[in-house]
Structure 1
Amino acid sequence: MLKLFRRLALFIFVMFLAPAMMATGWWMTQTHAANWRDADWSSSGVLLAQPAANDAAIYIMAARTGGLKGALSLHSWLVLKRPGATNYDRYDVVGWGNPVRKNAYDADGNWYSNKPTIIHEIHGEEAASLIPRIEAAITNYPYAAHGNYVIWPGPNSNSFVAHVLRAVPQIGIVLPPNAIGRDFPTEGRLFAIDDDWQNFHANLFGYAGISAGARSGFEIQFMGLVAGLDILNPGLKVPGFGRVGF
C-alpha cells in the first residue's frame, strides 16, 4: 500500500505539480499590472473594430488572468456577431455582482493588461445557425445568480464558457487545458456524454476527473489542473502552459 501511495504521489508531482511550479516561476519573471485599477482593459485590436454587417460570427476568446493565478489560468469569454449587425456582443462571467455580464468590456478587450487570443471562430451560415443555441445556453446557465461565482474549483468564468461549449457541441472545441474551472460539472452530473456522443466526462465537482473523446483527446484533471494528449491537433496538455503542439 505504501509503495502504491508513493507511486501515486510521484505521478501527481510529475504530471501536475512540477509543471505548475515551473509555470509559476516563469510568470513571476514577467511584468504585470499591479492591480485591476492600473490594468489596461481597452480594446486589443484582435477583432475588427467595425465588422461587416452581412457576416455572422462566433469567437471564443481567452487571455491570461490577473495576479498570481495568471500563472496557471486563462479567463475566457464568448463574442457573438449577429447577421446584419455592425457590433459585437460579449458574454463573460465575473466574480462580483451578478456573474453573467453582457458587453461589460470591449469585445476584444485586454484582460488585466493581457492581450487575448481567439481560441476558435466560426463565420457565415454556420455561425448564424448556432447563435440562437448559444444564446439559449447562456440563458440557461444554472449559476447566474448573485453569489454563485466560485473562483476555484468553480463555477467561474471558464465554467460558464465550457457550459456553453458542452451545450452546443457543434462549436467543435473544448477550452484550453489551462482554463481552470472549465471541468466543473455545471449540469450537476458527475458522468456526462456530450449530445453528439463525441466526448465523455467524469468529474468530481472540479477536483478530479477524466475526459476522453474527439474534442478532448485524453485528459486527466487534478485540482483544476489538466494533463493529457490532444489527438485531433497533436500535442500535449500541460498544467499552467496549456497546449504544447508537436
Structure 2
Amino acid sequence: MSAVAKFALAVAAMAMVGPLLLKGASHSWATEPWHRADRSSAGLAPDPRTTPEAVVQVYAAPTYGWRGIFAVHAWIAVKDADAARYDRWDVMGWGSGRVVRHNYDGPDHRWFGREPQVLADIRGDKAAALIPQIREAVAAYPWPETYRTFPGPNSNTFVAFVARRVPDLGLDLPPTAIGKDFRPLSDPIGHAPSGRGFQVSLLGLAGLIVAPAEGIELNLLGLGIGVDVAQPALRLPGIGRIGVGGKADHQ
C-alpha cells in the first residue's frame, strides 16, 4: 500500500473515530437503572386541548446507557385534527412477538432519562394529508417481528422506512440514527431515508447517500460521516449534524 493510501486511510479512520472519542469523553456515564429512569414529557408536543390542528412529529433521543455515545432511538407521533390524543409508533427489541409498538409512551416522553430532539414538526393541512400515508407505511413495515440492534432492522430502520414511503415528511435522520441505512441484500439501491435522492447500502454496513436532505453521507459499519450541502453542515458519527440551523419543519 502506498504512503498516500495509508495516509488517506488514517485520515478516514480519525474522521470516524475522533468524534466518538469526543462524545465518549463528554458522555454522562451515571445513568439511573432503566426501571427508574425518567420517562416524563419533555414538553415538546402541542397540547391537544389547545391545539386542534393536525400534528406530525418525529423524535430521536440517545439510547439508554453506553450505547447513547453512538446512537439515537427514533419514533413517530401523530395527532389527527381535533383528536384528544396522539398516536405514537416505535420499534423495540425487548419482549416477544411484534416489535412495532403502538403508544408505548407519550408522544414526547424522555427515552429512559434521555432528552428527545424534534426532527420534524408539521402541522395543519399538510400534517392532515400526511397522517393517512404514515399509517399506511407503518402497517406496511416489512419486519414487524424482527429486531437486530446492529446493523438492523431496528427502531431507526422503521422510521427510515416510513420516511421513504412518505417523502413529503422531508425527514433528515441524523448519522447517529444507526440502522436507518439498513437495506436487505435483495434491495441495495433506492431512495435515501428522506424519501428522495439516492442510496446504495449493503445491509447498512457500507453505503453512500446523495440526497437533498442528507447531502453526501458515507456509511461504514453503521457510522455515518458526510456533508450537508443545502444547509451547510458536517455530519459526524456520535455527534450528529453540526452546522447551519435545524431541520424541523414548523407549518
Shift of 1:38: 2.1
Q: Give yes or no for contact 2:37–2:113 (8 Å, CA) kept in 1.
A: yes
CA 1:4–1:192: 2 relative to 1, 3 Å: farther
Select which of 211, 215, 225 maps to 1:217. 215
Q: Is the 8 A contact 2:192 2:211 kept in 1?
A: no
Q: Secondary structure at the match of 1:24?
A: helix
Secondary structure of the corresponding residue to residue 242 of structure 2: strand
- Label 1:198 to 1:45 Cα distance change in 2 as closer, same or farther (>3 A): closer
Q: Which residue is equivalent to 1:171?
A: 169
Corresponding residue of 1:135: 135
Report the TM-score, using the length of structure 1 for normalisation: 0.91
Q: 1:31 to 1:187 in 2, by over 3 A?
A: same
User: Residues 41-77 of structure 1, C-alpha deviation per residue, up to 9 Å, x if partnerless?
Assistant: 1222222343446311100111111111101111110
2:236 to 230, 235, 238: 238
- 2:117 alignment counterpart: 117
CA distance in structure 2 between the partners assigned to 1:133 and 1:50 by the alignment? 21
Superposition deviation, residue 4 in structure 1: 6.3
Residue 17 of structure 1 is matched in structure 2 by: 17
Q: What secondary structure, in the 3-state scheme, does the structure 1 residue paired with 2:36 have?
A: coil
Higher mean C-alpha deviation, range 73-82 or range 188-197: 188-197
Name 2:247's counterpart in structure 1: none
Partner of 2:106: 106
CA contact (8 A) 1:19 1:240 kept: yes
Unaligned 5+ segments in structure 1 are none
| Further displaced range: 1-10 or 112-121 | 1-10
Cα contact 1:94–1:100 (8 A) shared by 2: yes
Change (3 A) 1:206 1:113: same
1:192 maps to which of 190, 193, 200: 190
Q: Deviations over 1:122-156 (max 9, x none)?
A: 111111111111111100101101xx100011111
CA distance in 1, matches of 2:193, 2:101: 26
**Aligned-pair CA distance for 1:196:** 10
Q: What is the one-letter code of the residue matched to 1:231? A: V
Q: 2-side partners of 1:122 and 1:15: how far apart? A: 34
The alignment's TM-score, normalised by the length of structure 2, stands at 0.89
Using the alignment, how far apart are the partners of 2:47 and 2:17 within structure 1?
41
**Partner residue in 2 for 1:204:** 202
Percent sequence identity over aligned pairs: 34
Which amino acid in structure 2 is aligned with residue 14 of structure 1? Answer: M
Are the equivalent residues in 2 in contact too, given 1:163–1:186 (CA < 8 A)? no
Structure 2 residue identity aligned to 1:132: P
Name the SS of the counterpart of 1:203 in structure 2: strand
Paired residue secondary structure (1:219): strand
Structure 2 residues not aligned, in runs of 5+: 245-251
Aligned residues: 242
Q: Secondary structure at the match of 2:190?
A: strand
Deviation (angstroms), 1:192: 0.7
Inter-partner Cα distance in structure 2 for 1:195 and 1:116: 20
Taking a change above 3 Å as real, the CA distance of residues 14 and 31 of structure 1, as seen in their structure-2 partners, is closer
Q: Structure 1 residues 186, 125: CA separation in 2 closer, same or farther (over 3 Å shift)? A: farther
Relative to structure 1, the CA distance from residue 129 to residue 188 in structure 2 (aligned partners, 3 Å threshold; closer, same or farther) is farther
